[in-house]
Structure 1
Amino acid sequence: MKKTLLALAAIAASSAAFAQSSVTLYGVMDASVESVKANGSTVTRVSSDNLATSRIGFKGTEDFGGGLKANFALESALKADTGAQGNSARFFDRAAWVGIAGGFGDIRLGRIDTPIGDIAGNVLSAQAYDDLKIVGTRAGDAHRRADNAITYFLPAIVPGLTASLQYSTAIGNSSSFVGADKKTAGAEVSGTTSNNYGKAYGLAVKYVAGPLSAGLGYEYARDELASTTTAPTIAGNQKANAALGYAAYDFGVAKVTAYYDVETSLQNLTTASKARRLSVTGAKVALPVAPNFTVIAGASVARNISQSGVIDADVQIVTVKAIYDLSKRTAVYGMFTNVNNDTSSTASVDNATAGFSAADHKTARGLAVGIKHSF
């Protein structure tokens, strides 16, 4: 009898070890008072997401033992200023994936960051006051995340080195595709104009060794636009690519980061116009000026940001952020961004609001003071 009870206890303990599950609720709330000026107009308002995107999420793990785990994540953006859903097209717009991980690496299926989107959003920052978002790079906007993705994170072979590969059957994004024919979010279409519509490949490599960090991401879309209703018309086979790289070094008294983004023009263009590729060259310096208080100053130059392919569509952007950590979960901040447009560019801190883009060769700016809380 005693042996039987011991055997049952061992089986129960073994079963528990092979089925350890956990689910975590987490989120971020970010709200600020901002004043944005562009095209001779100024708007002052309470806004959301200027330092980080407000969100609520669920993530979970089931441990099967032997290093094998099942994982999932569901994450939804929301607006702290209104309580509205962050994306009206879908609820879990930031993440919706399930996967399995082990000694072979980590495989995830579903909506998730693209390799270049991970670098833009989680390493360099791609919020409303940041250059990669303002000028509409693929890493900061149209290819920030991928629908219908198969993502593979390679196992760690070299200390500090991580790598990922991704394939999407219909990449989509948090809003829609760039260009005249905007792709419905998450849609997979038949090959009426192109069998490759929405298919994309991505990869990234990141390395950390003490104070040094660096990374490179690449994205290739086989057919970003199936067709276009505006000239020039080139139905199907709209290949597009983007690359984003960075290098950073923490000197103790300051952390310096340099980055470079280069990609295919944002519009369906003739071969001659496509030669003018969008590029962003930038640098940031983070200064820990006092305990829990950091000032980040950045400057960048973006070239050929116009979707019409005209010349002199360049922008110079300067950003200053001051962040004071009240605790590990709560911070107050202030930020200022100045956008200086050349002859044919109209970028501003708030490109999303109708009629609020800057006029050609004019300056736009934004100033925000807010609070961010993580839970």
Structure 2
Amino acid sequence: MKKTFVFAAVALLAGAAQAQVSVYGLIDMSYGKSVASDAAGLKADFHSGGDNGSGEGNSTTRLGVKGNLDVGSGMKANFKFETGGINSDGAVNPGGAFFNRQAWAGVSGGFGEVRLGRQDSVPFQTMAGFDQNGASNGVSAPGLAGVATWGTGRQSRSLQYISPKFGGLSVQAGFVPEGNVAGAKNNVSLGVSYGVDKLSAAVAYESKRVDGGEDFMSVSAGYDFGFAKFALGYADGGKNAKGLSTGVTVPVGAGITVGGQYARNSDTKGSAYELFVNKEVLKNTYAYFEAGKANAKTGVDGTGYALGLILVF
């Protein structure tokens, strides 16, 4: 029994030595309150990016581990596990799964990459890069107006394929079976991205996830003029979830970028905007200020802001 345990331990250590494993994470520390917190009558406070359901500051404070292993024939085995939001008390995604954000494994090679497990939806991965303020937790104008082009959330039991790039074109597809989840539907998704030089564009689609749900479709385009970057998007998530969003960022010198986003829901006539300033103050350390407002027709009537610091490692 002891010999078996020793041999197993040696084999495990040998495998770990061959695998490329790294710990990574993000810490968002801020002072302020989100639009949702303001609408609820809460006061400004110091926050971790995991507070209030990861709804404060710009980004979600989290910790993860990822790795890959050469398995031969030009292929690699990959995995990624990432915690839910870590709040100011040190709790991880209170009441939810520990690895709430990512928990998947897969293989990659010349054919592209295949993943299975909990991961960001295909529309989110396809469209998130067009959000000029990184899909802010607290003041996202497209999110508050209900017209975010990245609007569908993470999925468990998700099988995804990501193609290599062909002349700036890439494709991503996903499938989640209805399985044994009551009310669930077989769910398919597709994202197509194109980027050459200063132009980028993408389209995404996801079928309804549950009985009575809605299909989701979005399209975005962006262009970098050098003096400014512009982005425009349209999302259709069904009733009360249709509309346009637009954004711009401008470098103003000394590593400072300023920008803004505006979104309007064509069904509810609700609108929201956000303004932001970002600067890398030290290596992998970013300071930011952001403010946003939504009117009552969005369903969240309030004003929010955050002054914060983000450390990425």
**TM class, shorter-chain normalised?**
0.7 to 0.9
Give the aligned partner of residue 224 of structure 1: 210
Q: Secondary structure at the match of 2:289?
A: strand
Give the aligned partner of residue 260 of structure 1: 234
Contact 1:298–1:318 (CA under 8 A) maintained in structure 2:
yes
Q: Which digits, 9 at most, give the CA deviation of each residue in 1:275-333, with x for residues without a partner?
A: xx5213111111111132111111111233xxxxxxxx321111101011113410111
What is the TM-score of this pair, normalised by structure 1? 0.70
Question: Structure 2 unaligned runs (5+)?
Answer: 1-13, 50-56
Q: 1:87, 1:200 → 2: CA distance?
A: 28
Higher Rg: 1
Q: Which digits, 9 at most, give the CA deviation of each residue in 1:182-220, with x for residues without a partner?
A: xxxxx9336xxx5xx243111101111111111111110
Contact 2:83–2:99 (CA under 8 A) maintained in structure 1:
yes
Amino acid at match of 2:198: P
C-alpha distance 139-214 of structure 1, shift in aligned 2 (>3 A) = closer
Residue 149 (structure 2) pairs with residue 163 (structure 1): no
Give the aligned partner of residue 314 of structure 1: 269
Residue 311 (structure 2) pairs with residue 373 (structure 1): yes
C-alpha distance 152-119 of structure 1, shift in aligned 2 (>3 A) = closer
Percent identity reads 27
Residue 253 (structure 2) pairs with residue 290 (structure 1): yes
Q: Secondary structure at the match of 2:215?
A: strand
Give the aligned partner of residue 11 of structure 2: none
Q: Secondary structure at the match of 2:124?
A: helix
Alignment of 1:8-27 (within 5 A): 20-27=18-25
Give the aligned partner of residue 129 of structure 1: 139
Give the aligned partner of residue 145 of structure 1: 154
Amino acid at match of 2:310: K
C-alpha distance 138-293 of structure 1, shift in aligned 2 (>3 A) = closer
Amino acid at match of 1:295: V
Amino acid at match of 2:255: N
Contact 1:62–1:71 (CA under 8 A) maintained in structure 2:
yes
Q: 2:47, 2:278 → 1: CA distance?
A: 17
Q: Which digits, 9 at most, give the CA deviation of each residue in 1:104-128, with x for residues without a partner?
A: 2211110111111224544423323
Task: Tell me which of the two structures has the higher relative contact order, counting C-alpha pairs closer than 8 angstroms and 6 or more residues apart.
Answer: 2
Residue 90 (structure 2) pairs with residue 83 (structure 1): yes
Contact 2:84–2:97 (CA under 8 A) maintained in structure 1:
no
Give the aligned partner of residue 103 of structure 1: 110
C-alpha distance 104-120 of structure 1, shift in aligned 2 (>3 A) = closer
Q: Give runs of ≥4 in structure 1 deviating > 6 Å.
A: none
Q: Secondary structure at the match of 1:118?
A: helix
C-alpha distance 132-82 of structure 1, shift in aligned 2 (>3 A) = farther
Amino acid at match of 2:214: A
Q: Secondary structure at the match of 1:249?
A: strand
What is the TM-score of this pair, normalised by structure 2? 0.83
C-alpha distance 55-130 of structure 1, shift in aligned 2 (>3 A) = same
Q: Which digits, 9 at most, give the CA deviation of each residue in 1:151-174, with x for residues without a partner?
A: 011233x2221111100125xxxx
Aligned-residue offset at 1:137: 5.5
Q: Which digits, 9 at most, give the CA deviation of each residue in 1:19-67, with x for residues without a partner?
A: 9421010000002100457459451112233222111111100113442
C-alpha distance 40-57 of structure 1, shift in aligned 2 (>3 A) = closer
Q: 1:138, 1:199 → 2: CA distance?
A: 23
Alignment of 1:1-375 (within 5 A): 20-36=18-34, 38=38, 41=41, 43-49=43-49, 50-124=57-131, 125-126=134-135, 127-136=137-146, 143-156=152-165, 158-170=166-178, 188-189=180-181, 197-221=184-208, 224-225=210-211, 238-265=212-239, 277-304=240-267, 313-342=268-297, 345-347=298-300, 358=301, 364-375=302-313
Contact 1:62–1:70 (CA under 8 A) maintained in structure 2:
yes
- Structure number with higher helix proportion: 2
Amino acid at match of 1:84: A
Q: 2:148, 2:244 → 1: CA distance?
A: 15
CA RMSD of aligned residues (A): 2.4
Amino acid at match of 1:189: V
Question: Structure 1 unaligned runs (5+)?
Answer: 1-15, 171-186, 226-237, 266-276, 305-312, 348-357, 359-363
| Number of aligned positions between the proteins | 286
Contact 2:106–2:114 (CA under 8 A) maintained in structure 1:
yes
Contact 2:130–2:221 (CA under 8 A) maintained in structure 1:
no
Q: 2:40, 2:95 → 1: CA distance?
A: 30
Q: 1:146, 1:204 → 2: CA distance?
A: 15
Q: 1:76, 1:36 → 2: CA distance?
A: 22
Q: Secondary structure at the match of 1:325?
A: strand
Contact 2:130–2:231 (CA under 8 A) maintained in structure 1:
no
Contact 1:215–1:246 (CA under 8 A) maintained in structure 2:
yes
Amino acid at match of 2:289: G
